Structure 1
Amino acid sequence: MFARLEAEFASRLGRECLYVPSNRFGLFIALRYWMKPGQRLLMSPLSADEILFVVLAAGLRPVIAPISARNGNIDVSAVADLRFDGVLTTHLYGLPDDVVALARLCAERGIPLVEDAAHALHTTVAGVPVGTNGIAAVFSLSKHAGAAQGGMIAMASPEDRAALEELRGRWLSPRYAVAEFAGLVKAVARNTVVGTGLAYYTWRLAEALNLNERRNGYRIALRRDVLASRLAGTPHPGMAVLDPWIHADNHNYRMRQGSLAEGYALRRMQVADDQREQRLRGVRRLAGLKNIAPAVRDHLDQPLFRVPLLVQDRDHAAARLRRLGVITGHIYAPPFDDYAPGLTEPSPSPDAARWWARHVLPVDPLLADRAWPVLATLSAPPEAG
């Protein structure tokens, strides 16, 4: 199953790779395999909603890490006194976590480091691809590449493959050709209109037809009472129990896929490679703005998935960009410990995460020129306290 795509990733990473139908599905089986129910997972407060619910579905206790105001990732210098049994990176927008320090810390404690590399398909650290520092990494094919579905687990030891395959088979849902084809059509349409004048009208139509996931601001509705009842009575609820929360914006996240999905993903990987230099040009242009996240200037050699700006009136800026056809997504607000108090162990130093969540404006570097008339007028927020 998906041997060509697995071989493509293995050639890039030098690791054994296993295809999964989505990044979130891959993270679930990785966490189920390398950690035990009841253990504590150190993670960023700034990530997609479904990642929090994947962690809960795996029976783990989310321990929310302080973040660095420079890059929005885990502040390794601030976690030494925290108790945790594993670490999950984010590599937010493609800006790398300090995986060298995190790998060293995990080795000292004898605990697993799992990299969520959904935003980091082309990111490297000291010339080494992201996804090769921990015991495992999970990539997304729908982010950089713009494929309809798909993710990839890259593992440090090929000996783990058989067990991960067994877990994958246990949790996969049946393949429905109509749903797979519809997903491909949607992906093709999205990739066709992105960055054009049609993007705004497509977004407006999707909103009017209620095709986008309902949200309270930028997060999906928590439905705390229902969620609590689903979590009660078992140390590891599993994906099916928390499916209404995990499936946000991708209701087929664990559906078996066929050859059409593999073929399209391979083509989109080539497109992503071809766009690398254009992404770099966009990153370098946006890095000249006064309100760029400081760490971007440290990584001008990285073709980032998104370039984070930190702006005074983010929501107004996002609305102005939409009218230019630049649709801003991947805003993670509020931080997980504010979004789901009681379900997480809160960060001991939450201010930087709250500041990022209020002010971050992630911009596709491929659309830097189209977005520039708005971005050049934006004011920087007061510095993080």
Structure 2
Amino acid sequence: MFARLEAELRSRLGRECLYVPSNRFGLFIALRRWMKPGQRLLMSPISADEILFLVLAAGLRPVIAPVSTRSGNIDAAAVTDLRFDGVMTTNLFGLPDDVVALADLCAERGIPLIEDAAHALQTTVGGVPVGAYGTAGVFSLSKHAGAAQGGVIAVTSPDDRAFLEELRERWLGRRYAAAELAGLLKAVARNAVAGTGLARPAWWLAEALGLNERRDGFRIPLRRNVLASRLAGVPYSGMVVLDPWIRADNHNYRMRQGGLSERYALRRLRVAETQRKQRLRGVRRLAELKTAAPVVHDHLDQPLFRVPLLVRDRDGAAERLRRLGIITGHIYDPPFDDYAPGLTEPSPTPEVARWWARHVLPVDPLLVDRAWPILASLPSALEPVR
């Protein structure tokens, strides 16, 4: 299954690759492969909702890391005194974590480093692709590439790939051809209207039809009592038990896929390559803004998935962009330790994550020209007092 797609990613990453129906599914089976229920996983507080829930589903204790003011990623220099049995990076918006320092730390402790590279399909560090530093790298094909579904796990050995393939088959759901086709048509439509005047009415239509996941602000409702009952007394709950939380905005995240999805994903990978120069141009132009996160200037040679701006009235700015048909997604507010207190071990210094989550405005560099009149007028957020 998906041999052509796996071969394409293997040629890019220099690692053994295994197709999975989604990044979140891939992260789950990677955690099940290299960690045991009850162990502690160091992770960023600024990431997608489903990431927290799949960590809980794997029976792990989330240890929330301090994050860097410059990047919003894990502050590698601030975690050495914390206790954890594995690390999962985020590579927020395609900006790489301090993966060299984290890889060294994990090697020193003899623990796994799982790279969540959902936002970082085209990001490299020192000429090496993100996702090729750790024990495993897990990619999304629906972000940079804009495919309907799918992800890839990159690992170093055929034995690891074979073990993950067994886990994949154990947890895959049944294929529904109609659902797969509907997802493909939705992706085609989304890619066609992105950044045009049709994006806003398309978004409102999806809202009216109930196609967008219900949110509590920027997060899905936690439903703490129900969640607690699902987790009570069970060191390892599994994906099915927490499925209502893990699926979030992708209800087919573990559905088996067919050849049509593979062909579309390969096509979208080619499109992403043709957009590389345009994306780089957008990154460099956005870096000119006083609101650009400082770390962006370190990665002007990277075709980032999004460029984070740190603005005073983020929600107001997002609404102004929405009126132009630019829908701002991938905002993760509040941080996990505020979103789900008691389910995580909180960060020792949560104020930086709160500041980032409250002020970050992720901008698609492909849409810079359309968004520029608004972006150029936005005031910077004041840095947090620490």
What TM-score do you get using the length of structure 1 for normalisation? 0.99
Letter of the 1:90 counterpart: T
Moved over 3 A (4+): none
TM-superposed CA distance for 1:208, in Å, is 2.0
TM-superposed CA distance for 1:278, in Å, is 0.3
Q: How does 1:145-156 map to 2 (within 5 A)?
A: 145-156=145-156
Partners of 2:205 and 2:148 in 1: CA distance:
20
**Alignment pair present for 1:163 and 2:163:** yes
| Corresponding position of 2:61 | 61
CA contact (8 A) 1:117 1:140 kept: yes
Partners of 2:166 and 2:241 in 1: CA distance:
20
Q: Aligned to 1:321, what secondary structure does the other structure show? A: helix
| Corresponding position of 2:96 | 96
Summarize deviations over 1:158-177 as a string: whole Å, max 9, x none. 21111111100000000000
| Corresponding position of 1:198 | 198
TM-superposed CA distance for 1:233, in Å, is 2.4
Summarize deviations over 1:162-205 as a string: whole Å, max 9, x none. 11111000000000000000000000000000011101111111
Partners of 2:350 and 2:41 in 1: CA distance:
17
Partners of 1:18 and 1:72 in 2: CA distance:
29
Partners of 1:269 and 1:162 in 2: CA distance:
25
Summarize deviations over 1:269-298 as a string: whole Å, max 9, x none. 000011000000000000000010000011
TM-superposed CA distance for 1:124, in Å, is 0.4
Letter of the 1:51 counterpart: I
CA contact (8 A) 1:26 1:153 kept: yes
Q: Aligned to 2:261, what secondary structure does the other structure show? A: helix
| Corresponding position of 2:327 | 327
Q: Aligned to 2:295, what secondary structure does the other structure show? A: helix
Q: How does 1:118-267 map to 2 (within 5 A)?
A: 118-267=118-267
TM-superposed CA distance for 1:343, in Å, is 0.2
Letter of the 2:211 counterpart: L
RMSD: 0.5
Q: Aligned to 1:304, what secondary structure does the other structure show? A: coil
**Alignment pair present for 1:22 and 2:58:** no
Partners of 1:166 and 1:243 in 2: CA distance:
20
| Corresponding position of 1:87 | 87
Q: Aligned to 1:73, what secondary structure does the other structure show? A: coil
CA contact (8 A) 1:206 1:212 kept: yes
Partners of 2:381 and 2:304 in 1: CA distance:
23
Partners of 1:276 and 1:232 in 2: CA distance:
47
Q: Aligned to 2:8, what secondary structure does the other structure show? A: helix
Q: Aligned to 2:142, what secondary structure does the other structure show? A: coil
Letter of the 2:203 counterpart: W
Partners of 1:10 and 1:217 in 2: CA distance:
39
| Corresponding position of 2:371 | 371
Out of 306-315 and 157-166, give the one that drifted further: 157-166
Partners of 1:176 and 1:210 in 2: CA distance:
21
**Alignment pair present for 1:32 and 2:32:** yes
Q: How does 1:346-361 map to 2 (within 5 A)?
A: 346-361=346-361
Q: May I ask how many residue pairs the two structures share in their alignment?
A: 385
What TM-score do you get using the length of structure 2 for normalisation? 0.99
Partners of 1:26 and 1:344 in 2: CA distance:
22
Letter of the 1:210 counterpart: G
CA contact (8 A) 1:134 1:156 kept: no
Q: Aligned residues: percent identity?
A: 79
Summarize deviations over 1:237-286 as a string: whole Å, max 9, x none. 01100000000110000000000000000000000011000000000000
Partners of 1:210 and 1:5 in 2: CA distance:
32
Letter of the 1:268 counterpart: R
Letter of the 2:320 counterpart: R
TM-superposed CA distance for 1:235, in Å, is 1.1
Summarize deviations over 1:57-82 as a string: whole Å, max 9, x none. 00000000000010000001100110
| Corresponding position of 1:302 | 302
CA contact (8 A) 1:337 1:345 kept: yes
Q: Aligned to 1:216, what secondary structure does the other structure show? A: coil
Q: Which runs of 5+ in 2 are unaligned?
A: none
Partners of 2:203 and 2:263 in 1: CA distance:
27
Out of 115-124 and 197-206, give the one that drifted further: 197-206
Out of 245-254 and 203-212, give the one that drifted further: 203-212
Q: Aligned to 1:7, what secondary structure does the other structure show? A: helix
